[in-house]
Amino acid sequence: MKTMEVKTNKRRGDPGKPPGLHRTAGCTVELISSHNRVFDYLRDIQNRPQWERMSSGSLVQALANITTGPDPRNCISVLAMSNHKEILLLQECCTDATGSYVIFAPITPDVFQSMLYGVDQDIPLMPFGFSILPNVSGSTLDGTLLTMVFQITVKNVSSKQAVEVVTQIVKEALQKIIEAVN
């Protein structure tokens, strides 16, 4: 696994971001699988419990799915997990020949209800997810470059503990994804 980058942000009322201290960790790995295979694996909600800690041991289902273009894989979904009734995940997936991304943001059921009824509210989001790019060297396609970025809000833990937690989450997820798609 390549070098993990960790960044700290202190937010004070930035639009669309929750206030407080945040740790962000990111890492890029090279995979031998095609970018379409990696994208399809990550966007498939049935695979999510295999690589993601929060949904591990959970049944994941889509409560809503809105296609955002001619490719039906390009969509925005709201996901529910059977073991986390208080959290839903807003998921956006997008792909084309140049690359793909799968992005998630936790939201509450109340926020989801407000979205359904068209209530205009400022929703602070802590997105995390993947950039999935074809790895091309010269004129040859050599697999995929997968970048994962994850954020957490730091509360009641030391700075060192927050760094350890966020880097461990990224490392575990990437290792499980590598094992599944390579």
Q: Tell me the C-alpha distance between 126 and 54, whole Å.
A: 15
* Per-residue confidence band for 151, with pLDDT thresholds at 50, 70 and 90: confident
Q: Tell me the sheet residues that pair with 76.
A: 66, 92
Which of the four pLDDT bands, split at 50, 70 and 90, describes residue 1?
A: low
Q: What does pLDDT average to over the chain? A: 87
| pLDDT tens, residue by residue, 103-136 | 999 998 988 888 778 776 677 788 899 999 998 8
Q: What is the DSSP letter of 34?
A: -
Which amino acid, one-letter code, is at 74? Answer: N
pTM value? 0.88
Domains present along the chain, CATH in parentheses:
28-181 (3.30.530)
* Mean of pLDDT values over 152-167: 79
CB neighbours of residue 78 within 10 Å: 20
Looking only at Cα atoms, what is the longest distance across the chain? 50
65 closest CA partner among 50, 53, 80: 80
Among the listed residues 153, 149, 123, 129, the one whose alpha carbon sits nearest the alpha carbon of residue 10:
153
Higher pLDDT, 45 or 122: 45
pLDDT band at 138 (very low <50, low <70, confident <90, very high): low
Compute the average pLDDT of residues 161-171: 86
Residue 28 has pLDDT above 90, yes or no: yes
CA distance 79 to 59: 10
Does position 71 have pLDDT exceeding 70, yes or no? Answer: yes
Return the structure tokens found at 9. 């942000």
User: What burial letters (b/e) apply to 97-121, b meaning 16+ CB within 10 Å?
Assistant: eeebbbbbbbbeeebbeebeeeeee
